[in-house]
Amino acid sequence: MFFLLVLGAGYLSFESYQRALKMHREERELKDMQQAWRNLEQCVRGRINNFKGSCGIAIKDLKKGYALSYNQDTLLPSASLVKIPIMAACFYAASQGKISLKSYLVLRNKTKVTGSGILKNYPAGTQVTVEKLIHIMIAESDNTASNMLIELLGYDYLNDAFKKIGLNNTNIVRKMMDFKSRRRGKENYTTTADMAYILEQMYEGKFLDKQTSLKCIEILKDQKLRDRIPARLPAGTSVAHKTGLERGICHDVGIIFTKRGDLLICVLTRHKNKTSLSAKSFISYLAQDAYNYLAGH
């Protein structure tokens, strides 16, 4: 049956009316989203102004494409964020046939270092696969596992791989917990832009291939340190992320997954406080602001 609806002085079919109604609803939703994003931008600016330190920030709505950034090309010490590029370089090396993810490396006492991680508590002589080392390097932020993988690939290969992967401003010149080298001016650096780039490549399935990209995201989802990006999010929120922490340095970069959309958020900070509590709070509030943007439209 064919219906005609009276609109002013004319007539409109029911189907046309439905299309017009849908278009009006979509236009309204678009305006609401745009306003919500502007509100988020204003909120981020306010938090930056109140933060006692320097920072680099990148936030992106991965479904809608809205993005904001601040100091995203500024070089900052990477701390444990470098473990993401190391993970990527390992998978890159495996794709080239340079290494096997299933091969075993032997833990030695001289390789063990302090700081985060569980491998330092394992007895010398323990054999661990490269694949397992990658996982605990990310999930446990394991410094010993990181150093074993650095030794496996070497600085030259890692730095070359970083460039080929697309990380143009990320380097590695010292191992984890090597503060003697740090005092001599040897430092690992990265940028917010580089971290955002590699995470988005993995999210979109463009890092090597979809299977490898998904594997990296799943490893990042198993991150055990949840005192920054996930800290103020609703319980059970899925976050694929990696933290970084050293004296005066506090970072977290990752992807927040929600039913309403997915958000990329990278926050790198440098501060002069005695503790990292204010920097961690700064990061967690920014993540909450970003999450509320999605929940509010």
pLDDT at residue 1 is higher than 50: no
- pLDDT by residue (tens digit) across 4-38? 454 454 555 767 656 766 665 656 666 778 899 99
The answer to whether residue 181 is domain-embedded is yes
How many CA atoms within 13 Å lie on the side-chain side of 70?
Answer: 19
Cβ neighbours of residue 92 under 8 Å, at least 6 residues apart? 161, 164, 165, 208
26: three-class secondary structure by DSSP = helix
The answer to whether residue 76 is domain-embedded is yes
Enter the tokens of residue 193.
Answer: 């832009």
The answer to whether residue 210 is domain-embedded is yes
SS3 content of the chain, % helix, strand, coil (to 5): 45, 20, 30
The answer to whether residue 249 is domain-embedded is yes
The answer to whether residue 176 is domain-embedded is yes
The answer to whether residue 99 is domain-embedded is yes
State the residue range of the domain holding 65. 53-295
CATH number of the domain within which 105 lies: 3.40.710.10
- pLDDT by residue (tens digit) across 39-74? 999 999 999 999 999 999 999 999 999 999 999 999
pLDDT band, residue 113 (cuts 50/70/90): very high
The answer to whether residue 13 is domain-embedded is no
The answer to whether residue 227 is domain-embedded is yes
| Number of domains into which the chain is organized | 1
Q: Quote the CA–CA distance of 256 and 229 in Å, as a whole number.
A: 8
- pLDDT by residue (tens digit) across 133-148? 999 999 999 999 999 9
